[in-house]
Amino acid sequence: MSSTSQKHKNFVAEPMADKPVTALAGIGDVLGQRLEEKGFDKAYVVLGQYLVLKKEEELFNDWLKDTCGANSKQQRDCSGCLKEWCDSFL
């Protein structure tokens, strides 16, 4: 992976626990609020969706776009963050 944000590094550095959805790289306050309104209030709930989609980056990115309107950079940041977290902890 090329350069990653500090938010990404912080997220993948430790177990997920009860982190808010906005702890995910690529998910700020606006997208976080949209996700929360649809029931995705915690990072682990978004991880669950990522796993339901069998860690398929393209499917997850489409879901993220459809669910909260994430642009392609936000989609890549979020899916990359979840992929790296899964590689470390699952």
Give domain limits for the chain.
6-89
pLDDT of residue 1: 44
Q: For residues 40 and 43, what is the distance between their CA atoms, to the nearest angstrom?
A: 8
Q: How many other C-beta atoms lie within 10 A of the C-beta of residue 12?
A: 20
Q: For residues 3 and 36, what is the distance between their CA atoms, to the nearest angstrom?
A: 28
Question: One digit per residue, pLDDT tens: the chain, 90 residues?
Answer: 456 899 999 999 999 999 999 999 999 999 999 999 999 999 999 999 999 999 999 999 999 999 999 999 999 999 999 999 999 999
pLDDT of residue 4: 83
For the domain bounded by 6-89, which CATH number is listed? Answer: 1.10.150.40
Phi and psi based region of residue 34 (left: phi greater than 0; alpha: psi -120 to 50; beta: remaining) = alpha
SS3 of the chain: helix, strand, coil, percent, to 5: 65, 0, 30
| Structure tokens given for 12 | 């993948």
This model's pTM is above 0.85: yes
